[in-house]
Amino acid sequence: MQLEKEAGFIKNVALGLVILVAVFFIFRSFYGNPIKGTWENKDTGIMLQVKDNETATLTWRDSEEKVILPYELGKKEKDIVFMRNAGTMDTLDAGTISEEHEKEVEALIDAFSYSVEGKKLILIQKDFGDQIVLTKMK
């Protein structure tokens, strides 16, 4: 009798944990940012850290340079728009970014469709279809 009660209690605790984990993942998939994290393109050395506060930090593996880019994310549409703001313009105008990196920043300030496939983030430029493939680091 006592053993049956303990087994029932253990089953209830296990069921409760399974439900809690399922709710967590469902909540995260609907309300979380699917591209939050640090992404890298090993060919170009670009690292893109996407944060929840609608900002992304663009850095390069071989440089101390960095640019903050605001973005708007459309989860239903699966699109992202990286934009300029005063801080972005100040960074680009100050001449502290190399010409090559400035071109990469300009290429990223655009509208993209995105897809996440495992640890790969694929950004597809809306106007021309150019692709940027990044691998998740963190």
What is the CB-side half-sphere exposure of residue 47 using CA atoms within 13 A?
13
Query: Nearest to residue 49, comparing CAs of 60, 114, 127?
Result: 60
For residue 55, report the phi and psi dihedrals to the nearest 5 degrees: -130, 150
Dist. CA 124–CA 81, nearest whole Å: 11
Alpha-carbon torsion, ordered 23, 25, 29, 32, to 10 deg: 90
Note down pLDDT in tens along the chain; length 138 residues.
Answer: 666 777 777 887 788 888 877 666 665 555 678 899 999 999 989 999 999 889 999 999 989 999 999 999 998 899 999 998 887 787 777 878 888 999 999 999 999 999 999 999 999 999 989 999 999 996
Q: Return the pLDDT at 16.
A: 80
Q: What's the confidence (pLDDT) of residue 91?
A: 78
Rounded to whole angstroms, the Cα distance separating 72 from 33 reads: 11
Considering the domain 34-136 in this protein, what is its CATH number? 2.40.128.270
Q: What is the pLDDT of residue 26?
A: 62
pLDDT value, residue 6: 75
d(C-alpha 84, C-alpha 68), whole Å: 9
**pTM, full prediction:** 0.73
